[in-house]
Structure 1
Amino acid sequence: CDPASGDGAGVLFGMPDSFMRSKAQELFGAELPPQGEYAVSNVFFPPHNSTALEDCKAIMERLVKERGLKVLGWRPVPVDNSMLGRDPLDSEPVTEQIFVVNPGKYNNREFEQELMRIRKVTEDEAAAMLGPESGFYINSLTSHTITYKGQLTPEQVAAYFLDLKDPTFISHMGLVHSRFSTNTFPSWERAQPIRMMCHNGEINTLRGNKNWMYSRGGIMASDIYGDETMQLLPATSDHMSDSGNFDSVLELLTKGSNRSLPESVMMMIPEAWQDNDNLSDTKKAFYEYNSCVMEPWDGPAMVAFTDGRYIGATLDRNGLRPSRYYVTKDDHVMLSSEIGVCPDLPDAEVKIKHRLEPGKMFLVDFDTQRIVPDDEIKEEVASMRPYAEWVENGIIDLETWVKTDGMPRSKMDFKLTNKKLNMFGYSTEKLEMLLLPMAVGGKEALGSMGNDAALAVLSEKPRQVSDYFKQ
C-alpha cells in the first residue's frame, strides 16, 4: 500500500469569479461577461499523447461554435506532482481549462442546457475516437461551479492544484470528497465530487437502475432538446462507478427538464412514503406518481449535491450513513459524514448542531440566503403539479379493477385438474412439498436440503415458465 497513492479526492467550488477574471485578462486580454454568462471547466487529456489532446480540443471547439457560443481560449492548469505515488503518476492526465462565453444568445438556464449538450456529445465523439476509458474527461462544464479533483489523497489536493493557493481564488461554497474505492478501481476521472454531487455509501440497486434507464431510453423525450434528446443518451454506463451513474442521471433530470435540483433528488432518493402516516397526502401523491417514473436509487447512502443555486444533502430512507451539520453564529454552514472535521471550531461559535435524519433533506438556497426546512421544500415541490389527480386517474389498482370491472371467476371443474396440472408442468413433489403447506398454513414451506436441479435455461427437461425467472 503506497501512502502517496490515493483513491481520489477533490473539491467542487462555486465559480471563483475574481480569479477567473484575472486569468482571462492575463492570458487572453479579454474581459469576461457577468457571472453566469461564461463557463470554465477543468478538462483531463490523455497523458503523453499530444495528437489526442489537439483532436479532443478541436471536437470541443467545433461543438461550442455550432451551438452559437464562443471559446475564449485554453489555459494549462498549473500543478505540482512531486508528492504523487507511482499509480496516480503513471496515469496523470494533462489538465487544461476551457473558457466558454455566452454572447447573449441564451438565458442562463438555456446556457446551462447547451453546455451539458456540448459536454455529452464531446465525450461521445472522443470515446468513439480514443475508446471509452482513454483518459479524456470533462470534469464539469457549467457557469456556476468548477471541480478540482484527481487520483489524490485529501492532503494532496491543495498541494497539487496550485490555483488553490492563490489568494484571489475565493468561493462561497465547497463540496469536498475523499474516495474509498469499493466497486471500481481508482482513477483520475472517478474521483469525486462529480458534476453535481458526491456520495458516501453504496447504491445497491445499481444494476436495476442502469437497466431501467437504458430500457426507457428509446421512449425518453425532452421538450427542451426535442428530436435531439438522443444526444444525451445513454445516461448510464458500465465504465462509471455507482456515484458516476447517479450523477449522470441527476444531471439529466435537472437540466434535461424543468425540474429543480431538489425535485430530482426527491425522485431518485425518496423517503419512506408507503404506510407512513406522518407524510402529507400531497407528498405521498408525489412519491407514488414518481415511483412509476423512476425507481429509487436505494442503498446505504448520504448524497451531497449542488447546482450553484442550491447546496444540500439527503440521507437514505433507513439512515444507514452518518450525516451531521453545524451552523455557526456568523452563518457559516458545515455538513459532513464524520464528526470532528473541524476540530478547531469552538462550541461557543456554534448556533445549531444537529444530525440529518433518515430520508430527510438539508438544503441551503443561495438565492434567498437561508436554510430551507425539509418539510417546506418538499411540500413546495409536491404542490407544483396535480400529482394526486394524476395518481387517481392514471394508476389502475388490480384488486379494485377485479371487483368493479374484472371478469367473473369461472367455477373449477375438478375433472380437469390432473390434465391442467400436467399441462402446466406441476409435479407430485411440487404439489406436496410446496403448494400443500401454502394452502394449509398460508405461508411458504421451509426446507434445508437445497435445490440441485439445473437452472431452467440450461436444463434439457421441460420446465414451467416461472422457473426461468430467478432473483
Structure 2
Amino acid sequence: MSLTHLSASQGLYDPRNEHDACGIGFVVDIKNRKSHQPIRQGLEILANLSHRGAVGADPLAGDGAGILLQLPDGFLRAECAELGIGLPASGDYAVGMIFLPRDGLVRARCEAALEQTVAAEGQVFLGWRDVPTDNSCLGRSVRPSEPVIRQAFVRRGPGCPDTAAFERKLFVIRKQTHHAIWDRELLSRQPFYIASFSSRTLVYKGMILARNLGVYYPDLRDGRLESALALVHQRFSTNTFPSWALAHPFRYLCHNGEINTLRGNVNWMRAREKGIASPVLGEDLEKVWPLIYDGQSDSASFDNALELLVMGGYSLAHAMM
C-alpha cells in the first residue's frame, strides 16, 4: 500500500534521499472565542507563505497547502439542514473530510466501505455533503489528480460514553476503512484519503497554491465558518512527491523540517506493533495496524505515531515529549 507513486531510482536520483522545508502559521483566540477572524487571518498567513513552497513549470501547480480548524458547528448545522440531515448536539457528531475517486463506481464502493465500517463499529451514519470547490485555480497538471471531496457525518453511538471514547472509535473507523479499501484493491491508483475525521477538528487541504486555498474551498470564505484557531501550512515537498493526501495539516500537526531518522523510526514502530498494548483502546488496538503506510512523508508518519499515543491515553503534551 502506498499513498504516493515515487519515480524509480535512476542515475543519481534515489527517492530515499528527498528532503523538505515548509512554511507554517498558527492563529488562536486564547479565550476560545469562535469567529471567522482566525480563519481569515490564517488564509492571509498562507498568502504570505508562498515563498516557502515550491511551484512547478505549471505556475498553478504547488506542493500543497491547508488549514485545520475547530469543527464549525453553526455552519455545518445550517448546511446539513438544507440537505435534510439532522445533526445532534455539538460533540455528539463527527465530520470526515474525504478525498474520493472520480470514477463513480469506485467512489460508491469506497463510500459503502466507510458506511459499513461506521455501522460495524456501533456508530450511526447520518449522510454526505458535497464540499463546494472551484478548480479554476488548479494547474493543468494538477486537475487530473483532483479528487471528489465530500464530508461524511457520523453520530456518536451508545457504546461511546463521552467525546474521548468517540474520538477513539473514529480513529479505529478511519484506519479500518483505509485497510478495507486498500486491501480489496478497489482503487487501482485512484485517490482515497480521509483528511480528518473528528468531532473536534476539520481540515481543508490539497495540492493548491497557498494563496488559492480560499479560492478552491468557498467554505473558507463563508463568514458563518467559525473557529477559535487556525493552523496553516504551505508545503515544500522533497522527501515525497506532492499529492493531495500529503498536503498539511494532518490530523494533529503540521511540520517544517526534516526527520533524518525516518526509516529507522518507521522500522521501530513496525517492530513494536505486536508488543504494544493499551488498556484504553483495548481490542480495538489490533484494528489500527499497520499504523504507517509505504509512501508516507516523514510528517505524515510522525502524525500517525502521535495520534496513536494520544488515542492510547497520553495527553498531547506528554505524547510530544
Q: Smaller-chain TM-score range?
A: 0.7 to 0.9
Of 226, 231, 234, which residue of structure 2 is paired with 1:170?
Answer: 226
Mapped partners of 1:87, 1:128: distance in 2: 29
1:101 alignment counterpart: 155
- Whichever residue aligns with residue 199 of structure 2, its letter is S
Q: Distance in 1 between matches of 2:123 and 2:285?
A: 20
> Which residue is equivalent to 2:68?
12
For residues 188 and 175 of structure 2, the distance between their equivalents in structure 1, rounded to whole angstroms, comes to: 13
Q: CA deviation at 1:131?
A: 5.2
Contact 1:69 1:102 in 2 (8 A): yes
Cα distance per residue 1:66-86 (max 9 Å; x no partner): 122111100111100011102
Q: For residue 258 of structure 1, what is the aligned residue in structure 2?
A: 313
- Give the aligned CA root-mean-square deviation in angstroms: 1.3
Quick one: which of 131, 143, 146 aligns to 1:77?
131
What are the within-5 Å matches in structure 2 for residues 353-364 of structure 1?
none
Q: Confirm or deny that 1:118 pairs with 2:194.
A: no
1:144 maps to what in 2? 200
Q: Which residue does the alignment assign to 1:249?
A: 305
Distance between the aligned counterparts of 1:208 and 1:99, measured in 2? 37
Tell me the distance in 2 between the aligned counterparts of 1:177 and 1:46: 24
Name which structure has the greater RCO, CA cutoff 8 Å, separation 6+. 2
Aligned residue type for 2:117:
L
Q: Paired residue for 1:305?
A: none
Contact 1:210 1:237 in 2 (8 A): no
| Alignment-derived partner of residue 61 in structure 1 | 115
CA contact (8 A) 1:127 1:133 kept: no
Offset at residue 192 of structure 1 (A): 0.4
Q: Which residue of 2 aligns with 1:213?
A: 269
**For residues 144-293 of structure 1, what are the structure 2 equivalents within 5 Å?**
144-255=200-311, 257-266=312-321
Cα separation, 2, equivalents of 1:29 and 1:2? 40
Identity of aligned residues (%): 44
SS of the counterpart of 1:87? coil
Give the drift of 1:224.
2.6
Letter in 2 for 1:4: L
CA shift, 1:104, in A, is 4.3
Deviations 1:413-466 (A, max 9, x none): xxxxxxxxxxxxxxxxxxxxxxxxxxxxxxxxxxxxxxxxxxxxxxxxxxxxxx
CA contact (8 A) 2:171 2:197 kept: yes
> Quick one: distance in 1 between partners of 2:214 and 2:236?
19
Provide the rounded CA distance (Å) in 2 between the counterparts of 1:116 and 1:3.
37
Q: Distance in 1 between matches of 2:179 and 2:286?
A: 12
Moved more, 126-135 or 232-241: 126-135
Q: Which runs of 5+ in 2 are unaligned?
A: 1-56
Q: Give the whole-Å Cα distance in 2 for the aligned partners of 1:138 and 1:223.
A: 26
For residues 7 and 193 of structure 1, the distance between their equivalents in structure 2, rounded to whole angstroms, comes to: 13
- Change over 3 Å in CA distance of 1:235–1:224 after alignment to 2: same
- After TM superposition, the score normalised by the length of structure 1 is 0.54
TM normalised by structure 2 equals: 0.79
Give, in whole Å, the separation in 1 of the partners of 2:249 and 2:280.
27
Amino acid at match of 1:80: D
What does the per-residue CA deviation read over 1:112-137, in whole Å, with 9 as the maximum and x for residues that have no partner? Answer: 00000000000011111235853100
1:201 is paired with a residue of what secondary structure? coil
The residue type equivalent to 1:100 in the other structure is V
Instruction: Report if the CA contact (8 A) 1:16-1:171 is conserved.
Output: yes
- Number of matched residues? 263
**Pair 1:127 & 2:199 matched:** no
Paired residue type of 2:233: H
Find the residue that maps to 2:142 and give its secondary structure.
helix
Structure 1: segments with no counterpart, 5+ residues: 267-471
The alpha-carbon deviation at position 258 of structure 1 amounts to 1.3
CA positional deviation for 1:65: 1.0
Describe the superposition over 1:157-214 as per-residue Cα deviations: whole angstroms up to 9, x where unpaired: 0000111121111111111000001110001111000111000001011011000000
Which whole-Å deviations, capped at 9, do the CAs of 1:309-365 have from their partners, x for residues lacking one? Answer: xxxxxxxxxxxxxxxxxxxxxxxxxxxxxxxxxxxxxxxxxxxxxxxxxxxxxxxxx
Q: Give the partner amino acid of 1:246.
A: F
CA distance in 2, matches of 1:38, 1:59: 19
Change (3 A) 1:250 1:50: same
Retained in 2: the 8 A contact 1:40–1:97?
yes
| Residue 62 to residue 149, structure 1, CA distance change in 2 (3 Å) | same
Q: 2:95: which partner in 1?
A: 40
Q: Secondary structure at the match of 1:82?
A: helix
2:104 is the counterpart of 1:50: yes
Question: Where does 1:389-428 land on structure 2 (aligned, <5 Å)?
Answer: none
Q: 2-side partners of 1:235 and 1:138: how far apart? A: 14
Greater Cα radius of gyration, structure 1 or 2: 1
User: Is the alpha carbon distance of 1:67 and 1:24 closer, same or farther for their aligned partners in structure 2, counting shifts above 3 Å?
Assistant: same
Matched residue SS, 1:258: coil
Q: Are the aligned partners of 2:106 and 2:187 in contact in 1 as well (CA < 8 Å)?
A: no
CA distance in 1, matches of 2:135, 2:187: 26
Per the alignment, residue 7 of structure 2 pairs with: none
Amino acid at match of 2:105: T
How far residue 264 of structure 1 moved from its aligned partner, in angstroms, is 0.5
Residue type at the aligned position of 2:219: D
